[in-house]
Structure 1
Amino acid sequence: MSTPVQPTLVTTSRMGAFGRIMDTTDRTPGTLHTSNAWDRQLHRIGGHLLQSWRWGEFQQRHGWTARRIQVSDSAGTAMAQVLVRFQGPLSVAYIPRGPAIFGDPEVMWPMLLERVDALARRNRTIMTLIEPNDDSVLTGTLADVGAARRADRGQSCPRVRIPLLDDETILERMHQETRHNLDLAQRRGVKAGRYPAGQLAIEALYRLMAESADRNGFGLHSLGYYEDFLHTFGDDAVLLFAKADDGALAAALVTARFGNEAITMFGGSSAHGDGHRAAVLLQFEAMRWAREMGCGTYDLRGILNRNSERPGTDEGRWLSWFENGFGGEIPTCPLTIERRHVPVLPWLARTLKRIER
Structure 2
Amino acid sequence: MVNQSELNKDEIGHWNRFVLENGGSFLQSFEWGEFQESVGRRVFRFTVPSSSAGADFGPLRQSFSEASEAMQAQFIENTIPVIKKKYWYCPKGPTMNRTIRGQEFRDRIKDLIDEVKKNLPPNVIFFRLGPEWEIKQGIEKNLESLGFKKLHYDIEPSQTLILDVTRNEEELLAQMHEKWRYNIRLAKRKGVKAKLTSCDDVNFAGYFEKFYRLVDTGTSERKSIKHHPREYYRKQLRINNPPTPLSKGGAGGLKIELFTAEYENKIIAANIVAIFGQRATYLHGATSSEHREVMSPHLLQWEQIREAKKQGCTEYDFWGIVNEHTIDKRKKSWEGFTRFKKGFGGQEVNYIGYWDWPLDKFWYAVYRGVQKFRR
Q: What amino acid is the match of 2:307?
A: W
Contact 1:32 1:38 in 2 (8 A): no
Q: Give TM-score, length-normalised by structure 2.
A: 0.79
- Which residue in the other structure is 1:19 paired with? none
Deviation string 1:16-41 (CA, Å, 9 cap, x unpaired) is xxxxxxxx63999x999932121112
Asked if 1:304 is matched to 2:304, the reply is: no
CA–CA distance in structure 2, aligned partners of residues 218 and 340 of structure 1? 30
In the TM superposition, 1:172-187 aligns within 5 A as: 172-187=174-189
Asked if 1:276 is matched to 2:291, the reply is: no
Q: CA deviation at 1:266?
A: 1.4
Asked if 1:232 is matched to 2:234, the reply is: no
Q: Give the direction of change, closer, same or farther, for the CA distance of 1:27–1:110 in structure 2 (3 Å limit).
A: farther
Deviation string 1:58-97 (CA, Å, 9 cap, x unpaired) is 0112232111111121566111111112457742011111
Asked if 1:126 is matched to 2:125, the reply is: yes
CA–CA distance in structure 2, aligned partners of residues 270 and 137 of structure 1? 42
Query: Given the alignment, which residue of 12, 15, 18 partners 1:38?
Result: 15
Task: Report the secondary structure of 1:301's partner residue.
Answer: coil
- Which residue in the other structure is 1:15 paired with? none
Deviation string 1:222-264 (CA, Å, 9 cap, x unpaired) is 11111111112354232111112x2221100111111111111
Q: Which runs of 5+ in 1 are unaligned?
A: 1-8, 10-23
- Which residue in the other structure is 1:52 paired with? 29
Deviation string 1:96-137 (CA, Å, 9 cap, x unpaired) is 111111222431443344334443453232112211112248
Q: CA deviation at 1:183?
A: 1.9
Contact 1:130 1:336 in 2 (8 A): yes
Q: Give the direction of change, closer, same or farther, for the CA distance of 1:137–1:200 in structure 2 (3 Å limit).
A: farther
Q: Give the direction of change, closer, same or farther, for the CA distance of 1:73–1:309 in structure 2 (3 Å limit).
A: closer
Greater helix fraction, Structure 1 or Structure 2: 2
Q: What amino acid is the match of 1:63?
A: G
In the TM superposition, 1:1-357 aligns within 5 A as: 25=3, 34-74=11-51, 77-86=70-79, 90-102=85-97, 103-105=99-101, 106-121=103-118, 122-124=120-122, 125-135=124-134, 136=137, 138=139, 140-164=141-165, 165-197=167-199, 198-210=204-216, 211-233=218-240, 235=242, 236-244=255-263, 246-305=264-323, 307=326, 309=329, 311-312=331-332, 316-350=334-368
Contact 1:31 1:70 in 2 (8 A): no
Contact 2:259 2:271 in 1 (8 A): yes
Greater strand fraction, Structure 1 or Structure 2: 1
Contact 2:51 2:104 in 1 (8 A): no
Q: Which runs of 5+ in 2 are unaligned?
A: 53-68, 243-254
Task: Report the secondary structure of 2:93's partner residue.
Answer: coil
- Which residue in the other structure is 1:3 paired with? none
Task: Report the secondary structure of 1:231's partner residue.
Answer: coil
Q: Give the direction of change, closer, same or farther, for the CA distance of 1:352–1:151 in structure 2 (3 Å limit).
A: closer
Q: CA deviation at 1:277?
A: 2.2
Q: What amino acid is the match of 1:39?
A: N
Q: CA deviation at 1:309?
A: 3.0
CA–CA distance in structure 1, aligned partners of residues 87 and 145 of structure 2? 21
Contact 2:48 2:111 in 1 (8 A): no
Q: Give the direction of change, closer, same or farther, for the CA distance of 1:234–1:278 in structure 2 (3 Å limit).
A: farther
Q: What amino acid is the match of 1:279?
A: P
In the alignment of these two chains, the number of paired residues is 328
Q: Kindly, what percent of the aligned residue pairs are identical?
A: 24
The alignment yields a C-alpha RMSD, in angstroms, of 2.9
CA–CA distance in structure 1, aligned partners of residues 5 and 335 of structure 2? 51
Task: Report the secondary structure of 1:298's partner residue.
Answer: strand
CA–CA distance in structure 2, aligned partners of residues 337 and 146 of structure 1? 10
